[in-house]
């Protein structure tokens, strides 16, 4: 989810529009820190590929240990 889909509890408008001071403050905070931290720039397919590689690596290590 991105911040453009969030709705402000203060003014009931989308946060991305920044209608009230609360919206503007949260929009700035979300833009600075990234909504998902370090994974903010990855698309869902990249995350799935990363997860598949991680599972394959764990399976390979488990196979070699046995």
Average confidence (pLDDT) over 9-28: 86
pLDDT at 36 over 60: no
Rounded to 5 degrees, what are φ and ψ at 14?
-60, 135
Domain extents for the chain? 1-35, 41-66
Kindly report the pTM of this predicted structure: 0.45
pLDDT of residue 38: 61
Residue 60 β-bridge partners:
none
- The pLDDT mean for the chain works out to 82
Digit-coded pLDDT (tens) for 38-59: 666 678 898 899 999 999 999 9
């Amino acid at each position: 989810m991105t911040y453009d889909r969030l709705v402000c509890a203060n003014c009931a408008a989308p946060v991305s529009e920044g209608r009230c001071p609360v919206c503007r403050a949260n929009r700035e905070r979300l833009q600075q820190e990234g909504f998902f931290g370090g994974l903010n720039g990855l698309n869902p397919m990249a995350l799935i590929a990363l997860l598949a590689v991680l599972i394959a690596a764990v399976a390979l290590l488990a196979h070699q240990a046995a």
